[in-house]
Amino acid sequence: MVQVCASINDPYELDKVVPKDLDSICNTTKNLVMQRSFELLGIRKPQSPPLPEDPDQFFENMINQMIDQVETQNHHGEMLVNQAVLLFNHMGIEHYLSETDKPARDIMSRDPSIEELVNQLREAHSQEQKNFIHAQVQVLKLKHIYTRVQNPNVWLNPDLRVLIANSSQEKLRTLAAALNHNERSRSCSHNITLGNREIDEIYRRFITEIVERNPEERPMNINESAAWFEDINNMNERLANFQRNSQNRVRRPMPDGIRHVSNRANFRVINELISNFRFPHYLVPMSDNEEVNEDGPDHNLNDRNPQEQEQN
């Protein structure tokens, strides 16, 4: 039990392993579980080893602390990329449900698996856990969308039908990779692999391909920027392409009090990401009596950090 507790890295994982009724386990095991839960929650930390006295060991100890921080920053950067991908998918799904196939929303609202995951999302605490649940919800929704566009009784332009089907498969492949990066996540997301529809078989094939080719160690990144930073840049490019093709739409007012990245944490790429996401969300189809602004709406000024505007 000592090894099991030591291998658990977050309190939510501990919650899945430990029985709900602690009285059902012996006192020794109960003490181990309580100690580990306190450590994971930051209430009680294990006693730290003494600092090394050897100069080289002391130096390397400080180097190791820097490496730990780099690993932490990279992990948080990857979570940020996952959030961006999930938001991008969410916008595409909402666009389909609002403008292409409104009855599909009712079908999804009656899906018990989606309802169960949404309830789990309300109870989620860590961002990593929220990302994990969001991704499972999107897998189920994209499966519904794919099945709808393959149904000849759902009227769609043939070209649009093919476009949506291919896009849904592409997004499902990306989500499958994110959800199946280790054995634990594969087992936790098992339910979304079930089903006997064509798209269920396709999704299971994606998972098989990913598991078989997934290397234990990623190749070294030889670029100047972290891989997650490059992914954010790529997402900005995709959003910018959408902006360039947003004719016949006007911008509706943003609600008061929306958050911006603080000046201390802000940098160009992340500021562009937030602005680029908000731009399409606040667009609405232009009515017949509105004129087209060929330059497009001036979204950059209004969506900038208010502190930044005051400095100009």
Alpha-carbon span 19 to 23, nearest angstrom:
9
Residues 18-46 have pLDDT tens digits of 655 555 566 666 666 666 665 666 555 66
Beta bridge partners of 249: 285
Cβ-proximal residues to 207 (8 Å cutoff; 6+ apart), any chain: 176, 180, 186, 193
Q: pLDDT category, 295, cuts 50, 70, 90? A: very low
Burial of residue 302, with CB atoms counted within 10 A of its CB: 0-12 exposed, 13-18 middle, 19 or more buried: middle
Each domain of the chain, given as residue ranges in start order, spans: 2-46, 71-215, 226-312
**CA distances from residue 159 to 88, 89, 163, 280 in whole angstroms, order as listed:** 22, 20, 6, 23
**Sign of the CA dihedral running 115, 116, 119, 121:** negative
Residues 90-147 have pLDDT tens digits of 999 999 998 889 999 999 999 999 999 999 998 888 888 899 999 999 999 999 999 9
pLDDT of 57 over the 70 cut: yes
Alpha-carbon span 31 to 278, nearest angstrom:
49
Note the pLDDT of residue 89.
95
The rounded percent of the chain whose pLDDT value lies above 90 is 38
Note the pLDDT of residue 233.
93
Note the pLDDT of residue 40.
64
Residues 3-13 have pLDDT tens digits of 555 556 665 56
Alpha-carbon span 43 to 173, nearest angstrom:
40
Alpha-carbon span 236 to 84, nearest angstrom:
10
Residues 155-170 have pLDDT tens digits of 888 899 999 999 999 9
For residues 283-301, give the mean pLDDT. 52
Read off the pTM: 0.75
Note the pLDDT of residue 311.
46
| Whether 243 contacts 279, CB under 8 Å | yes
Alpha-carbon span 291 to 51, nearest angstrom:
70
